[in-house]
Structure 1
Amino acid sequence: MKSTKLILLHPTIQKQSSSSNTNRLWLIFIITFFTTAFTLTLITTTTRLCRLLNPASTFHIRRPPHYATTTNSTHMTSTEVATITAAVAHCAAAASHCNLLVFGLTHEALLYKVLNFNGRTIFLDENENLGSRFEQHHPGIEAYDVQYKTRVSEMKRLLESARGKLRSKCRPVQNLLFSECKLALNSLPNHVYELSWDMILIDGPSGYHEAAAGRMSVIFTAVVLARSKKGGAAATHVFVHDFDREAVGKLGHFVVERASDERLMTEFCRVSTSANSSSSSTSMV
């Protein structure tokens, strides 16, 4: 009869085996957790990106809570959003470096930033601290607040004053930082005046009541920036949202040429213009 041998495991071996099993279970748990988290992040990011790249879906996205203080009460239509986003995308694709200046920090801001992937996008808004709060929520956004001195109730007087000084203080080509024209914005960040803008979108400030800032000074400043640009493309595309308050929803598209001769240095507009676009520049009215 063969004798039965009893094999006894040393206690330390048993502990090592138990510890090894525990470590494997933790390793499996950690791998599963991070895999699940990565998958959910990928799905969320993809969904957001699709919404940003689709103007129709972006138009229906609910505004984040930090937009509650914005004074831009008129939303763009899906057609207007599609028109502007197409222009931004074309600028980003055509230019080696597209510079986009946006007056008004609206819920389309992230869309413009994403589309202008190879250029610089700067947002200017009349609401104090809105830009800094927006930057905190969305790193990579460059936004500043602007203090406007004009009022809608003063529109006629301001325009008449500017028209009377077209060849002096309110000329099309000038250094806005030191301008004495009442319609000129000279309190913007210094680099705004130094950059050559390929596209300017005017969707602010508010202008639907007498005490509002109105967009006279913004339109004037945009044209001077385009006329006075030193480099980049020969023309700047200027979009003005709700440029006719009696027909809310109208989007103006103007092409402003850089001053290349004496005439363009002393004139804002050519004689030939159309209702929604211009071959030369935007008008002050």
Structure 2
Amino acid sequence: MKILITGGTGFIGKQLVNALSQGNELTLLTRSAGKAHLELGSHHKLLGNLGALSSLDGFHAVINLAGEPIADKRWTLEQKQMICHSRWDITARLVQLFKASKTPPTVFISGSAIGIYGDHDANTKIDEHFSLAHFKETGQEEKFPHSVCARWEESAQEASEYTRVCIVRIGLVLGLKGGALKKMLLPFKLGGGGIIGSGKQGMSWIHQEDLIGLFLFLLQNNQCQGIYNGTAPHPVNNRTFTKSLGNALHRPTFLPMPAAALNIALGELSELLLEGQYVYPNRALEAGYHFKYPDIDSAFKQLFAAQ
């Protein structure tokens, strides 16, 4: 297959590129050709910007993972704008290219995030059919992650007139070379890990191999379309997550991180750690996707097996 991938040099993107390298011809949208060649090899075609394309004719699939990392910097107004437009603008341009194509790619897989659901306790079990109208119905404040993802998804869905569209709402991705877990490891390894805030907030996670597996599954199964939660079948609260990580590292987890301290250190960004939701991948399971690591203990066991 000839596949166009945006965000191919990111934490998830690099793994997806490696998984698709065998037997496929990949074109990677990247602002850094040197970095892409160094990390992914020189055999892939590179594209500096989507303005170089007049259509998507010739491609069989498009996978859209582009976006400024949401948790790397404090959410200043400038950073929020970068987070939004790095997702919205590329997605809108891809939809324009689908529209301009005589023979558009047969599938468009676009990323999103579970932050679109807002903050919920364990009594609210969220799957893909959960109504996003709850903000208006309950009077809950619409948070930044929701507003980013809502417009991102709305834009991606506009391509459904021209192709099969799958949107993956990604949870906390567990891997040692990137994402939130990499940032957590040092304090835990030093014995300074502990629960965050109340410890009751939901953490809907997924092992990196399962997320890549889900993308490949959606790519290969023509009956799949619409929204899919990129999370494992067994979400946990922060207290359980912390205990499991400590056990996997053979380290104590006695030092809590108070909410007030996080608010001072991170500002609005602290919401990502202090709030959460319990998200279930029901549509992926119903479609026949099999998770290699369905529970948090098995996921951590695999990740730290070679440590």
**TM-score, length-scaled by structure 2:** 0.31
Larger radius of gyration: 1
Q: Flag the structure with more relative contact order, 1 or 2, with Cα contacts below 8 A and sequence separation at least 6.
A: 2
**TM-score, length-scaled by structure 1:** 0.33
Identify the structure with the greater strand proportion: 2
